[in-house]
Amino acid sequence: MPMDFLTATVLLAAFIGAWYSLATALGRRANAGAARRCGACKTIRYLATGTSYLVEMECEWAKYVGVFVQRLPWDNPLNLAASLLARRKPLTIVKVDLEAGLPWWLDMSSRGALGSAERVGRCHVVGRAAPKSLIAELADACERLGAARLIIGGRPALQIYIPSDDCGRAIQISRTIIEILGKYLRK
């Protein structure tokens, strides 16, 4: 017996509603767990939703470390299908505020840049105000570590965009970048 339009619509709405409720509850639980075990730093506070989480941490090497992880939208079957078709990847954004400000400014991207950009290795650098040797070392580190974008200067002092949902790895990448910056601050 074929289903009429109204019955099909009601069943579809019930399916999406059940998926959304269950996936949101499971996603929040999984994201809260991931936020609590984000890395070697002490977690101060976190906020978890079904598709993302934000962690603020205390680390001995920085005044402030904030990590935002955006995962695929598992809580909505329509958005999930669109994300998978578009081949979207999870994204982690790390913001680090150091005790002292940095004397340089630069914006480095692995994907290209709008306007004029200098190519250093596989990275594109816009508006640089930093030593060439530092830029070359940062470009090499970004390529080796898998960072998609690096912004140095301003508030916060360091921002790193990483196409991944591994918070612990993001903290390690941040620490590596800060160690590189530290070598040039001591010169």
Which pLDDT score is estimated for 162? 95
- Please report, to the nearest 10 degrees, the dihedral formed by the alpha carbons of residues 125, 131, 136, 139 taken in order: -40
Return the structure tokens found at 158: 């360091």
Q: What is the model's pTM?
A: 0.85
Beta strands in the chain (DSSP E): 42-48, 52-59, 62-70, 91-97, 105-109, 118-120, 123-129, 149-152, 158-162
Terminal Cα-to-Cα distance of the chain (whole angstroms): 80
pLDDT tens-place values along the chain, 187 residues long = 677 999 989 998 998 888 888 888 888 899 888 888 887 788 899 999 888 999 999 888 888 999 999 988 877 788 888 888 888 889 999 999 988 788 888 888 877 655 677 778 888 888 778 888 999 999 999 999 999 999 998 788 899 999 999 999 999 999 999 999 988 887 6
What's the CA gap between 106 and 134, in Å, rounded?
11
Which pLDDT score is estimated for 104? 87
Peptide bond into 156 cis (omega under 30): yes
Which pLDDT score is estimated for 115? 62
DSSP code of residue 67: E
Spell out the domain ranges in the chain.
5-102+153-185
Question: Are residues 176 and 138 in contact, defined by beta-carbon separation less than 8 angstroms?
Answer: no
Q: Find the angle CA(165)-CA(148)-CA(112) to the nearest 5 degrees.
A: 150
Question: CB-based contacts of 69: which residues, under 8 Å, 6+ apart?
Answer: 31, 34, 52, 53, 54, 55, 90, 91, 92, 165, 167, 170
DSSP code of residue 106: E
Which pLDDT score is estimated for 91? 94
